[in-house]
Amino acid sequence: MLLDKLNNKMVTLLQSGFEGLILPVVGFLLIYAILFAVLQKSKFFGGNMNTDIWIAFAISIIFALTPGALDFIRVVAPWFVVTMVIAFSFVLVFLFMGVSTESLTNVAKGPIVVWTIIILGVIIVIAGLTSVFGPILGQPSAVGGGAGREIQRSIFNTKILGLAFILLVASQAIRLISSDITKS
């Protein structure tokens, strides 16, 4: 009985508001680490470490101070982590089945895997932007008139967007299949 009364009074770590304090710090560090790694790998500014450190620091500060940017990271980061865990799980399953690392590396460098990663990344980013900033590709409001509003309503119709997505996927599939046939 006494234990039940104590359990009702206890505050968990998430209920204490600790997330509000730690999210800006973790968001800043995440953006800083990713930007610094990309700048070092790409050598976009000449590969100078000091330049890359300051550019990553400045962009991370701007990103941390932007109102919706940390909310975007809070929504998108878990989905990228889940995607990476699933990808590593698939790689481990193939390694346990006896597939060599060289053949896995060759498949991972192929266009099908690259395009799959790009498409999943775009879907996650669009879903995150829609979740944080509202509908991006949604139906515009019916308020107002004129030809411009009708064109906007026609282009952003869900049936038109669905058809465009299906045509895009089909064209990429045809391109990838035809490139594999010509290589053979």
Looking at residue 36, what is its pLDDT? Answer: 92
Looking at residue 131, what is its pLDDT? Answer: 81
In tens, the pLDDT along 94-147 reads 999 988 889 888 888 888 888 888 888 888 888 888 888 776 555 555 555 566
Looking at residue 113, what is its pLDDT? Answer: 86
How far lies 68's CA from each of 55, 57, 80, 94, 165, in Å?
21, 19, 18, 40, 28
Contacts of 18 (CB under 8 A, 6+ apart): none
- The answer to whether 36 and 52 are in contact (CB under 8 A) is yes
For 119, the 3-state DSSP assignment is helix
Looking at residue 168, what is its pLDDT? Answer: 86
Residue by residue, DSSP assigns 6-17 as: HHHH---TTTTT
Looking at residue 157, what is its pLDDT? Answer: 73
Looking at residue 143, what is its pLDDT? Answer: 58
- Cα-Cα-Cα-Cα dihedral sign, residues 78, 70, 68, 149: negative
* Residue with the two structure tokens 């690392």: 101
Looking at residue 10, what is its pLDDT? Answer: 57
Tokens standing for residue 141: 């409001």
Q: Which residues of the chain have pLDDT under 70?
A: 1-20, 135-152, 180, 184
CB atoms within 10 A of CB 39: 21
Q: What is the residue extent of each domain of the chain?
A: 13-65, 137-184
